[in-house]
Amino acid sequence: MNVDALRTAISNVCGRLHAKDEDVAMLLPDPVIRVFVQHFEEFPRSPQEALPMLRWKLKKSVPFGVDETVLSYMRQAPREGGVDVLTAFARLRIVREYEELAESVGLRAGVILSSSLAAAALLEEHTTTLLARVPVYPGAASPKTSAGVNSNTEFAARDWTLPAQASPELVIDWYIAQLQARGWKVKGKSFNTIRATRGHASLSVGVRHRTLEVIANSRGA
């Protein structure tokens, strides 16, 4: 990141908007803030108990010490078989660099979000919830989210980078078992891609090299 160029660009925009000494929302690149959906049979209500549990579970997925992370989570609605927890974490040192950048031009970082989570707010609740509840293959990282809407469909897509040793065939087989256990009807498997339906909703799961892609459609095809 070219800090000087970015600071100049932000300062120019703030000058045009006459923004000074204000709280701002910072949307950071997906590689900075990683987002996971984790499933628990039981999950504590108290943050004092929940945070250590999340840090312990994320330990294998973090390329640095968990003590160096800033972490936030959102408990999803309970369902049969446990509860899903949407978890976002980032390296504290990197987050502070962005906060200091804002402070250098007279702003305060009031809210910090990943671009994926910010984009999710543009979708209808059903599509957002559908994508958030898709199980994530163990070790998959660096999620990137996109979305689209037309008169017939509304979809959201999320890509992950799979672990180097992951086999595409085993990843797809894992998703077949996971989705069927959650009540999805899996319709065929072709070229490391599957399609599943449940009511009016549909999911497409595919693996290309080390990229895992899940497309969620809340309205049906």
146: confidence class by pLDDT, cuts 50, 70, 90: low
Element (DSSP H or E) covering residue 128: helix 125-132
Please report the pLDDT score of residue 21 as a whole number. 85
144: confidence class by pLDDT, cuts 50, 70, 90: confident
Full set of structural domains in the chain with CATH: 3-115 (3.30.420.380), 122-217 (3.30.310)
Least reliable range by pLDDT among 59-73, 141-155, 176-190: 141-155
Spacing of C-alpha 53 from chain mean position? 19
Residue % of the chain over a pLDDT of 90: 20
- Residue from 168, 179, 177 nearest 206 by CA: 168
Q: How far apart (Å, rounded) are the C-alpha atoms in residues 77 and 146?
A: 24
Predicted confidence (pLDDT) at residue 205 exceeds the cutoff of 90: yes
**Beta-ladder partners of 154:** 149
The larger pLDDT score, comparing residue 123 to residue 187, is at: 187
Please report the pLDDT score of residue 151 as a whole number. 43
Please report the pLDDT score of residue 85 as a whole number. 83
The larger pLDDT score, comparing residue 113 to residue 1, is at: 113
Secondary structure of residue 3 in the 3-state scheme: helix
